[in-house]
Amino acid sequence: MKVNANQEMEVKSDLVTGSDLLVQALEKANVEVVFGYPGGAVLPIYDALHRNDTNFQHVLSRHEQGSIHAAEGYARVSGKPGVVIATSGPGATNLITGITDAMMDSIPLVVFTGQVAKQVIGTDAFQEADVMGITTPITKYNYQVNDIADLPRIVNEAFHVATTGRPGPVVIDIPKSISETITINDYEDDFYLPGYQPTIYPNPMQISKVTDELSKAEKPVILAGAGVLFAGATEELKQFANYWEVPVVTTLLGLGSYPGNDNLALGMGGMHGTYAANRAIYESDLLINIGARFDDRLTGNLQHFAPNAKVAHIDIDPAEIGKNVETAIPIVADAKQALSVLLQQEVNRGDYTAWLDKTKKNQKEFPLWYDRGDNPISPQWLIEKVYEKSNGEAVVTTDVGQHQMWAAQFYTFKNPNNWVTSGGLGTMGFGFPAAIGAQIAKPEKMVISIVGDGGFQMTSQELSILKSQNLPVKVVILNNEALGMVRQWQESFYEERYSHSLFSENPDFVKLAESYGVKGMRVADEDNVPEALDEAFSHDGPVVIDCRVDRDTCVYPMIAPGKGMHEMIGVTK
């Protein structure tokens, strides 16, 4: 039996609305928190949230982009899918950046968008948008619910798809007529996906090829990506690297997959990676990629990427293997399963003593460096102080740009899942709301959001959540009154034509924070930094620290566009 909820009728206890079915499905999926923003097409859903006793929390953002980036931060730190609700039309389209960000960085999300009633879809109805057409290229899968009987199954299926194989975002578009329909509560949520069976376990023959090549190699390198973190394989990676005594390079998103302070760690590779890491890849004769994409910011000019290396690539997504870099040993598998099998192999280990000595010599002779100034503050030194004062144990989130690279370079990540950043899409405005989600996921942890003055202004309205939820997030603004990385590229490649990259007027970030009931601080001299960080980090609530850093500082070393890993600039002063 199906009737319209707006009709006058006596609703019996065994009848529910489509929105009630959705709430029940979220409970059954063990959802802990939902990030959302109400609107006309999801009013039945929000009414169901009000009417039903739920075990999950709803966090009201101040913009849909804040909702989805918070869900990304939650998912990245907790390993559980982030859940988002937004209304139709502009509510749904405000999620597009975050959905794309999650797709590129393999973040599991289940996103519910409201839609206009079924009978007016396609008529350009008020607040209608073609969510299916818009999100098809940027989701792992998407659904539009056309029959209320399918809703429980679709929700259950969506959580499975989002979290298995290569994680990613799944969108469920729910017409208002579905969410408000009253029906009998007797639908099944079982599903069967014969065409979706991710390969988890590695081919034994391919695994043997890796160990065979390792026993013959003279200059092997392990490249560790975010796939190691998603698989929960950090301990296996450490055992594998230490057993073979092979140096480890991490990608930007892979930071924390291998302890950054370990003797075998060479640091981050890529455009702003360490000299030792990039030189090791360039000179290697065997490169073992575990869970990384070989994206352009890592490889530089592909003609010069590991030119003498035989490449083995372990990835759960077969589409990534051989996509950018020719691969001699393809292994489609979950990183944890592949490493577990590799650790069981009985083979003769090679002697890489000379190779390790060379990589350590490169680390010693060409470390990361920066010029130290007193006023304004040296941004790299500031990051080092943030690391020191937080004991290197904080969850750190960032936007994209100079502050992101300095955080990656100078905050040493010793533990997994403490680094939350926008890698593939490079999203300004990501870092601060992501910190909100991370803090909700790990209330016992210190969460520090290192952001630029440009990116912070894109989502600063989410300061309301810090106050309403009493979340003790510490926001460290590297305020150089510029779009720092844009300014750097204009200096380096556009003959210092600073077209619209310098901010003549910024808000007073201290007053802005205080207007939301959040503690605001300002520090402009290095002598005051240690005391300011101590005060902020010991405060039991949220804090925004406006740190005035040097505008002219650039991120080095660097692989310039079109150059190879062996052509880094700014390696030394």
Provide the annotated active-site residues: 64, 126-127, 176, 485
| Phi, psi (degrees; rounded to nearest 5) at 169 | -85, 145
Determine the distance from the C-alpha atom of residue 230 to the mean position of all C-alpha atoms in its chain, rounded to a whole number.
11
> Distance between CA atoms of 493 and 420, rounded to whole angstroms?
29
What is the rounded distance in angstroms from the CA atom of residue 464 to the CA atom of residue 486? 29
Tokens of 327: 């691969």
In the structure encoding, which two tokens stand for residue 22, read together? 């959705």
Report the alpha-carbon distance of residue 551 to residue 424 in Å, rounded: 26
Peptide bond into 557 cis (omega under 30): yes
Site of tokens 């291998």: 258
Please give the Cα distance from 110 to 85 (Å, whole number): 9
Q: How many CA atoms lie within 13 A of 563 on its CB side?
A: 14
* Structural contact between residues 395 and 229, judged by C-beta atoms closer than 8 angstroms: no
The encoded tokens of residue 503 equal 């901010």
CA torsion, points 144, 147, 151, 157, in degrees to nearest 10?
-60
Tokens 């609305």, residue?
A: 17
| Alpha-carbon span 235 to 224, nearest angstrom | 12
CB 476 within 8 A of CB 547: yes
Q: What is the CA radius of gyration of the chain?
A: 25
Lookup: tokens for 165 = 């194989």
Q: Which two tokens stand for residue 284?
A: 């290697």
Q: Give the integer Cα–Cα distance in Å for 543 and 535.
A: 10
Secondary structure of residue 519 in the 3-state scheme: strand
Phi, psi of 203 (to 5 degrees): -70, 120
CA distance 382 to 410: 9
Instruction: Give CA–CA dist 240/385, Å, rounded.
Output: 32
